A = this chain, B = another copy of it.
Amino acid sequence: MNSGCTVWFTGLSGSGKSTLSKVLAQRLREAGARVEVLDGDVVRTRLCKDLGFTHGDREENIRRIGFVCELLSRNGVIAIVAAISPYRTSRDEVRSRIENFVEVYMRCPMEVLIQRDVKGLYKKALAGEIPLFTGISDVYEPPLKPEVTIDSSTDTPGEGLAKILDALELRGLLQRKAVPLADSATGLRTGEWVHGQSQLPPR
């Protein structure tokens, strides 16, 4: 069985995609998985530097990232994408090409995003200084049936991570290690994970 997959974060700017993708990547590497994070910024430098933010360019951006994910996933790698990826049809096109596709919708109310505004982008967008800003002056189409929905205004990063790990376990892409129950005296941890059947330790 191929235990590669694509974990595709989608959501508005500031919804926590990058942060949680890094936490997830770290956790999956600890579980023995090969992991690549395709961050929006890196991709735009190495793969899509010709592309802007028009509808066509955003579609093409997703298509190229999707192609890379397809190659990685079918070779046993867990590809994690953290990109706004605003269009449902583009995401579904990628989904149709990838055997194990886990869409993670980072939901967050607009008022919370505007209040947080870590990068100061919403302020600029609301002032009309950024054209085609997703959620303000450009469309965002939330997924209809994502594998995981995380509300970053109420879920902690730990809760978000747990939801994703559960989704991967449900699909047989991750297994819980059989370890002794937690014991405060020995410090043993429960809930450790291993990636892929081939990664299981010998019995």
Contact = CB atoms under 8 A, between A and B. Distances in A.
A127 B64 CA distance: 36
Interface stretch (A13-21, A65-73, A175-183): A65-73
B64 A60 contact: no
A60 B68 contact: no
A132 to B, nearest CB: 19
Interface string A30-73: 00001010000000001100100000000010011001100110
Nearest to A34: B75
A76 B32 CA distance: 14
Contact of A71 (B60, B68, B76): B68
A75 B68 CA distance: 13
Nearest to A48: B64
Contacts of A76: 34, 75-76
Contacts of A68: 67-68, 71
A80 interface: no
A71 B35 CA distance: 10
A82 to B, nearest CB: 15
